[in-house]
Chains A and B, each alone.
Chain A
């Protein structure tokens, strides 16, 4: 029997956004008929695994397209660049793509120190009950404040009065524009145009499925692989791999930026524990309820 020739590969190298893009691409038969999809993470993690950021060599040898996320802004970036160029075929086509940032929604984003005691819990995927959190709440809790008081103060605070949100927008917009300029695939104008109309991020680095569908369409378009029924196929994907936890956007931030989708009825998911309104979520978060 003749051995079937293996397909060429389309390899994605980047953060959780490209991992999610891999998932979407693997749900598209029109793409998987032509390519195997590979992925390597650019996230720097000190886990003792030497080749943690490497892509499988066999996948790289068949690589026709390599899509690499560019580093985030230089200072404070935890980014490991792609380092296996010597394993790629000579005729590989390489494209740079920007990462997506929801930093504008959560100016006081923080990794909650309380997670470390709960990372062993299987239901939280090693990340702890609140993989993203808030610095203001964290600092008050760390100082020993009562969680009810912390939650109430946070809910009642006006971010527009506490910090220069116009300057934050200026910085966020500058970064998004720069990332686009440094890439072969551009995405910032879509984010900018839709920021007020719809929710584009669940957490600071996790885009919604709708945003991810646009992101993947941009990739396919650049590679010359976007096809007429793509949007129909994407609609059929029922599972969202990065949707399991959200972090609520403070209504005063939503109001400052004119985000129409932030209404009193808006809820935010916390794993399988339910979806909660902004105040409910903040009380639960302050108490670290899970």
Chain B
């Protein structure tokens, strides 16, 4: 498991106060409280934790946690 995924697990778990397992395949519907309205605030937290800024259009197109981790890796490579 990549370092990004491990850190994302921590950020998402702590954000929603959940002990649900989180991996690359996790989607919003798997986590209680992760609705479209909470998504924006979560993404701000993720941006701060990873020191990246997601392109606006990408924020809403991510399908799962794995895609989020890949996007973070791509943004950090390009930094």
The chain A residues found within 8 Å of chain B, CB to CB, are: 72-78, 101, 103, 106-111, 113, 135, 138-139, 142-143, 163-164, 167-168, 170-172, 174-175, 178, 204-205
Smallest Cβ distance from A200 to chain B, in angstroms? 15
Cα distance, A164 to B29, chains bound together (Å): 25
Chain A residues near B32: list those with CB within 8 A. Answer: 111, 113
B56, A171: Cβ atoms closer than 8 Å: yes
List, in ascending order, chain B residues with CB within 8 A of A143's CB: 17
Question: Given A78-B29, A113-B32, A174-B56, is A73 in contact with B39 using a C-beta cutoff of 8 Å?
Answer: yes
Inter-chain contacts of B44 with A (CB < 8 A):
163-164, 167-168, 171
Say yes or no: A168-B36 contact (C-beta < 8 A), given A75-B28, A75-B62, A76-B28: no
Contact A74 B16 (CB under 8 A): no
* Residues of A contacting B47 in the complex (Cβ-Cβ under 8 angstroms): 164, 167
A-B contact count (CB 8 A): 77
Known pairs A111-B33, A164-B48 / 5 extra A-B pairs, C-beta < 8 Å = A75-B36, A77-B35, A107-B40, A163-B48, A164-B44
On whether A76 and B41 interact (CB within 8 A), knowing A113-B32, A135-B15, the answer reads no
Are the CB atoms of A135 and B38 closer together than 8 Å? yes
CA distance A204 to B37 in the complex (A): 8
Contacts of B16 in A (CB 8 A): 135
Contact between A73 and B45, CB atoms less than 8 A apart: no
Q: Which residues of B contact A170 (CB under 8 A)?
A: 56
Can you show 7 pairs from A to B with CB atoms below 8 A apart? A75-B28, A78-B36, A106-B37, A143-B17, A163-B41, A175-B60, A178-B60
- Min CB distance A16 to B, Å, is 13
Chain A at the B interface: SS class: loop
Is the contact region of chain B dominated by helix, strand, or loop, or is it mixed? helix
For window 5-42 of B, CB contacts with A under 8 Å fall at 15-17, 27-29, 32-41
Q: Could you list which residues of chain B lie within 8 angstroms of chain A, going by C-beta atoms?
A: 15-17, 27-29, 32-41, 43-45, 47-48, 56, 59-63
Q: What residues of A have a CB within 8 angstroms of the CB of B37 in the complex?
A: 101, 103, 106, 109, 204-205
- Taking CB atoms, residues of chain B closer than 8 Å to A72 are 36
Residues in A with CB closer than 8 Å to B34 are 76
Identify the interface centre among B34, B38, B61, B62: most chain A CB within 10 Å of its CB.
B38
Other-chain residue from A75, A138, A139, A204 in contact with B61 (beta carbon distance below 8 A): A75
Chain A residues contacting B17 (CB-CB under 8 Å) are 135, 138-139, 142-143
- A167: nearest chain-B partner, CB-CB: B44
A78-B29, A135-B17 known; A171+B43 contact, CB < 8 A: yes
A residues in contact with B15, CB < 8 Å: 135
Cross-chain contact of B60 among A75, A139, A163, A164 (Cβ < 8 A): A75
Taken together as a complex, chains A and B put the C-alpha atoms of A77 and B63 apart, in Å, by 11
Q: Are A77 and B36 in contact (CB under 8 A)?
A: yes
Among all A-B residue pairs, the 4 with the closest Cβ atoms: A76-B28, A73-B60, A139-B17, A72-B36
Please determine whether A73 and B41 come into contact, CB atoms closer than 8 angstroms.
Answer: no
**Closest chain B residue, CB of each to CB of A132:** B37
Query: How many Å from the CB of B27 to the closest CB on chain A?
Result: 8
